[in-house]
Structure 1
Amino acid sequence: MGRLLVIGGGAAGTAAALALHKAGFEVTVFEAHPDAAEDIGAFLTLASNGMRALAQIDAAPAVTALGFPLTGMRMLDASGTERASRPLGEAEDPVLRFRCLRRGDLNVALQAEAARRGIPIRHGARLVSVHEGPDSVTAHFADGRTATGDLLIGADGLNSTVRHSIAPTARPRYAGEQVFYGRTADAPRLAADGLITFVRGRTVAFGHTASPAGETFWFARVAGDPLSPEEFANGTPARRRDLLLALLREDATPAAGIVAATAGDLLVTNATELPGGMRWRSARCLLIGDAAHAASPATGQGASMALEDAVVLAKSLRDAPDLDTALTTYETLRRPRVEHNITVSGDISRGTHARPPAPAPRPGDEDLIRLLEWDRSLTDAR
């Protein structure tokens, strides 16, 4: 196989490029934004499975240089009473510890690592259409340029242009919650380093952690109707903070004080998900990451699942005898796991815990370790 085109320079696309490059493929990344700092105000947590995927493509050092590790969690109820505490993920391994960092910083670090390895990244390349031929696929960009390759990988997120060409009727749907994100340097430190606290309030699910430098990162999930486009356009951080504070003050927890100490660094979004069973591929196009399996953020697995995608895709293309077999292998291995995450995360967001009548099996921890291990063929891993 010759040239691979990756549409989207976020975590999913850039990690896929790193993995494909390691597997020996020629790959170019096309990113619509003019720079790498998309979503600079939001933060995320990479779980141990995501960090393991990064380690397999030699990208863990670039990420562990950012943010801070999380080694434990605790759960509070609405009265502020601690109900549970435990280690978080593979806390004993410094490389595999959960990591809290800003989304924009993750994008910048992965793109810098790609550039260091000689992988081209074309910024300002906004995809408008895809044309598939019998022997190649061509991407058409808004500035009139085109690029042709053997396979086009759509890592262009929730509102994917590539997905529209593969599954034009598939639409993101509201998952039942508004999600707030904020950070502040003015809140008091409430726990030891490396600890994330979850609060199960009467009407709000809240979480917070603090960096070693004293900056508090927090999120809040609020069930209710989705915010309208007009509310997004006209809302201000102060107005959103006041609405959230009114709910948080119903509980005797630190949450209201943390939010009250937050000034302008506050974002809100509607939790969304993609329906299970939608098409991920055509003959020469494949969706990965949020473009294929966006889930509500309740499980905190979106970025980590995308990093898993990158490794499994590269290994599928490396180990399979032809493109169709590779894409079939990839989908067979990934769909049960990521669609299980969509279901579980959606259940949490909607306050339900029902399972599908016949839930598909998904790889467990040991299966996932074997699957991600770079030097193990996919035949051996299954």
Structure 2
Amino acid sequence: MNVIVIGGGVAGAASAIALRRIGVEVTVYEAYAEPAGQVGSFLSLASNGLRVLRSLDVLEQVQEAGIDVPDQRMWSSSGRLLGDVPRGRLCGDKLHSVTLMRGALVEALRAKALATGAVIVTGERLVDAVTTEEGVRAVFASGRMAEASLLLGADGVWSATRSLLDSNAPTPEYAGLYSISGIADGIETEAGIFNMTFARNGAFIHLAAPGGRVWWSAQVACPAQPELSLTDEEWLRRLAGLYRHEQAPSAILGATTELHRPTLMHRLDAIPVRHNDRIALLGDAGHPVGAGQGASMALEDALVLAQSLAAEPSVAAALSAYEAARSARIAKMVKAASDNRDAKTTGPLARQMRDLVMPVAVRLFYEKATAWLYTHDCGELPTSRTGGDSQVRSA
């Protein structure tokens, strides 16, 4: 059996590892020349995603590339502590959340995929996918064609695979938030704490990073889609004005030495078709969630899909089993992500109510409310049967 994976990011690289572990031949086609490296900002992995990394035998590499973040504190705009909880886990779980640059995570996963014998081809953009009697044929913008038993769309929120699978598939819409992040120096910040401030104009996240630096991210509430072509100096001036009421964010912005490219945050209506008999979607291509769970959900997808292929008698049966195993959990996560996004765009009265209720709610209900998410364990794959030479090719 051979599989084509479209997209070499987190979902694509993780699925390549999982599929090689069950003996499947895998070729990953990535549109960008280099999808890893210093691309994007930081992301977090919760305990459910870290268990998948352990099953894929890449947990230690990811932990070494990131920051151990055992705890999370939530703050009001005035600086009042609203909640102090374990970060991405339940109390007592020794598998601490890891925060790392997206590029570092992709690099670790790609290295593992190559070590297991996956082939990665860069600079190839999918333009068509045709189901045949034997499987599926992928057509790329360069004119290259490839055939396989199965095609997996792991190509993100703007997935080309999704629209080829279903011409009526929904398209992403701006969600009323944009994100911009950076690095500050000279700000004293307690290590191991993921700080989230519910500011007047959106959430502000910061944590201590190696070398006395602070990683930060502003998730700005903005009903109208903003113009993204401002200079770094213009962005910092804008953010300084937006967060002038919040002491910690204001100080961090004033000490910023490096700014990352701003990105729009999107929502996507429920996707009615996530697979047919030969094509399936993984990660953000099938269900963009955010809320600190985008990467972890993509990792879960990769593992469960490989388990389904190993257990079922045909590709069609495996994809049906994969959908059955993931649909309810994904639907619940999408709802949680929507609630999370709404909490960052509330008005003055809603903010006051949240500041009153949240300390009590966190203390009494946090563990019960998040157990379904953080205690989830996708299990293991069959014993590895793979090996082989790593191969990276450019179009």
TM-score in terms of structure 1 length: 0.87
How is 1:5-24 mapped onto 2 (pairs within 5 angstroms)? Answer: 5-24=4-23
* Aligned pair partner of 2:274 in 264, 274, 280: 280
- The aligned counterpart of 1:293 is 287
Higher relative contact order by CA 8 Å / sep ≥ 6: 1 or 2?
2
Distance, in Å, in 2 between the alignment partners of 1:174 and 1:33 is 23
> CA RMSD, aligned part only?
2.2
Match of 1:74 in 2: 73
Give 1:242's match in structure 2, choosing from 237, 241, 257.
Answer: 237
CA distance in 2, matches of 1:375, 1:25: 12
Query: What is the match of residue 340 of structure 2?
Result: 348
Report deviation, 1:312: 0.4
Contact 2:22 2:381 in 1 (8 A): no
Give the alignment partner of residue 381 of structure 2, picking from 363, 374, 382.
374
Partner SS state of residue 110, structure 2: helix
Contact persistence 2:276–2:316 (CA under 8 A)? no
1:247 partner amino acid: L
Are 1:327 and 2:319 matched, yes or no?
yes
- What secondary structure, in the 3-state scheme, does the structure 1 residue paired with 2:256 have? coil
* Counterpart code for 2:372: G
Is 199-208 or 155-164 further displaced after alignment?
199-208
Residue in 2 aligned with 1:194? Answer: 192
Residues 296-342 of structure 1, C-alpha deviations (whole Å, 9 max, x = no match): x3x21001100000100000111112112111111111122122222
The within-5 A match list for 1:159-170 is: 159-169=158-168, 170=170
Residues 21 and 382, structure 2, Cα contact 8 Å, conserved in 1: no
CA distance in 2, matches of 1:39, 1:90: 31
Q: How does 1:111-260 map to 2 (within 5 A)?
A: 111-169=110-168, 170-184=170-184, 186-191=185-190, 193-228=191-226, 231-232=227-228, 234-251=229-246, 253-260=247-254
Q: Equivalents in 2 of 1:71, 1:329: separation in Å? A: 34
Q: Is the 8 A contact 2:189 2:214 kept in 1?
A: no
The one-letter amino acid paired with 1:309 is: D
Tell me which amino acid in the other structure corresponds to 2:240.
L
The partner residue of 1:312 within 288, 296, 304 is: 304
Structure 2-normalised TM-score?
A: 0.85
Identity of aligned residues (%): 36
> Are the structure 2 counterparts of residues 278 and 373 from structure 1 closer, same or farther at C-alpha, using a change threshold of 3 Å?
same
* Displacement of 1:63: 1.0
Q: 1:264 to 1:87 in 2, by over 3 A?
A: closer
- Displaced runs of 4 or more, over 4 A: 90-94
Report the 3-state secondary structure (helix = DSSP H, G, I; strand = E; otherwise coil) of the residue aligned with 2:211: coil
1:107 corresponds to 2:106: yes
Q: Partner letter of residue 373 of structure 1?
A: E
Please state if 1:364 is matched with 2:372.
Answer: yes
Q: CA offsets per residue over residues 339-372 of structure 1, 9 Å max, x none?
A: 222222122223489xxxxxxxx99359832x33
Aligned length: 357
Question: Does the 8 A contact of 2:187 with 2:213 survive in 1?
Answer: no
Unmatched 5+ stretches in structure 2: 347-369, 384-395
Distance 2:376 2:53 in 1: 14
Distance in 2 separating the partners of 1:20 and 1:99? 24
Q: CA deviation at 1:206?
A: 1.1
Rounded to whole Å, the distance in 2 between the matches of 1:179 and 1:24 is 40
The alpha-carbon deviation at position 242 of structure 1 amounts to 1.4
Query: For the residues of structure 1 that align with 2:372 and 2:249, how far apart are their CA atoms?
Result: 34
Cα shift at 1:227: 2.6
Counterpart residue type for residue 284 of structure 1: R
Contact 2:126/2:160, CA 8 A, preserved across alignment: yes
Distance 1:62 1:331, change over 3 A: same
Q: Partner letter of residue 181 of structure 2?
A: Y
Inter-CA distance 56–325: structure 2 relative to 1 (3 Å threshold): same
Distance 1:143 1:182 in 2: 36
Residues 90 and 60 of structure 1, relative CA distance in 2, 3 Å threshold: farther
Structure 1: gaps (5+ residues): 354-361, 377-382
Give the aligned residue type for 2:268.
L
Does 120-129 or 300-309 show the bigger shift? 120-129
Cα pair 1:308 1:372 within 8 Å, conserved? no
Shift in Å, 1:176: 2.2
CA distance in 1 between partners of 2:373 and 2:332 (Å) = 14
Partner of 1:356: none
1:167/1:38 CA distance change after superposition, 3 Å: farther
1:333 and 1:188 map into 2 onto residues whose CA distance is 45
Give the CA deviation at 1:267: 2.7
The offset of 1:277, in angstroms, is 4.0
